[in-house]
Amino acid sequence: MDILNYTEAHHEFRQRLRAFLEKEVIPNAAQWEKDHIVPREIWNKIGQQGFLSTSVAEEYDGLGEDFLYSTIVCEEMASTGQTGLAATLHSDVVVPYIEEYGSEELKRKYLPGCVSGDIVTAVAMTEPGAGSDLSSIQTTAVEEGDEVIISGSKTFISNGIHCDIVIVAAKDPAVENPYNALSLYIVDDGAPGFEKGEQLEKMGWHSQDTAELFFNNCRIPKTNILGEKGFGFLMLMGKLQQERLVCAMGAVYGAQKCLDGIIEYCKKTSDASGKPLSKSQAVQFALVEMAADVKIGRTFVDKLIAEHIEKKDIKTETSMAKFWMTEMTNRIIGRSLEIMGDFGTVETNPLLRGWRDARVTSIFAGTNEIMKFIISKLMKL
């Protein structure tokens, strides 16, 4: 029996999305890599087809659907072999902050655009001197009348160039306890004092518009706070379960794509004796081991998806999944390139892009070392 029970509506959604990606994304992915950015209009196209922020309620122009729709989007996006159109980041990491913590005014102002693709979102936590340790954030937010003045900088922000709004983690410098000082604010592109830096050149994710963001006495309405002042740390912690689950999902779906690719390659490519590589026992054993890793990983992830839908507390398990799946994916892609030999080093090899893109997954959304530290505390070690 399958762990996840997809309905006919789910299958129909998947087929529509797959057809869209085959037409609008996959043929253009290589060019986007060369351009080092996706065109802004692709966000409007995917939004207009109903593939963004599928959980948003109908009253805000969303579909109001369950998390399995997000699972489908994540899996099908992984099949495209590109990372520039970061739909899952937008829909399942950033927008949920507005859904859960935004005032009614903020929901009506922003959610319809998040669904349609007219609004691209980003979340800004990481700073030049603060990564996984949120208590080290130095960006400040000071209230002045009906406004909040934000000062500081953020770096490695995905969707940093295209973003129309960014959720910024900033602290009240008057509050001594760093965890009680944090709040979350929505900053609109074009807000006075908000500037986007140059797009960062990276080893992978070439078409993903990752950038530095600068807040030079940036003024926003006080009403743009998410939730209550001083509850930023708790809100971030509350959303990390889904963020880490999404990371694990993307990793295992990427590993599956790699496995499918290397198996097809080994069946079609001959060794020096003229036999397909897949007939070599050494290659067979390697492929079997990789297939077992993917099967085990996918079973674990499917179980976590089901439990997440049931709203169970699985912070320990999603942290485990995040580090194990990302390390597994890196291991599988690296081994696949070794099997390919010289072709494993050629830019026309699609797995080479996958190898570059996969490397950062063990670093973002909390490094894997941080995952292990968190798990050790949850295990009371």
Task: Give the residue numbers marked as catalytic.
Answer: 243
Cα–Cα distance between 200 and 157 in angstroms, integer? 9
Distances (CA, A) of 139 to 53, 57, 67, 151: 28, 32, 33, 6
- Which of helix, strand or coil describes residue 372? helix
Determine contact, residues 129/136, Cβ cutoff 8 Å: yes
Closest CA to 163 of 86, 256, 215, 254: 86
For residue 121, the one-letter residue type is T
Q: Dig out the tokens for 196 from the structure.
A: 């986007």
- Which of helix, strand or coil describes residue 147? strand
Cα–Cα distance between 142 and 106 in angstroms, integer? 20
Beta strand 165-171 with 121-124 is parallel
Cα–Cα distance between 329 and 141 in angstroms, integer? 39
Per-residue burial over 275-302, b = 16 or more CB atoms within 10 Å of its CB, e = otherwise: eebbebeebeebbeebeebbeebbebbb
Q: How many CB atoms within 10 Å of residue 358?
A: 27
For 206, how many CA atoms within 13 A lie in the half-sphere containing its CB?
A: 15
Q: Dig out the tokens for 309 from the structure.
A: 């839908």
**CA 21, 204, 166: angle at the middle one, nearest 5?**
75
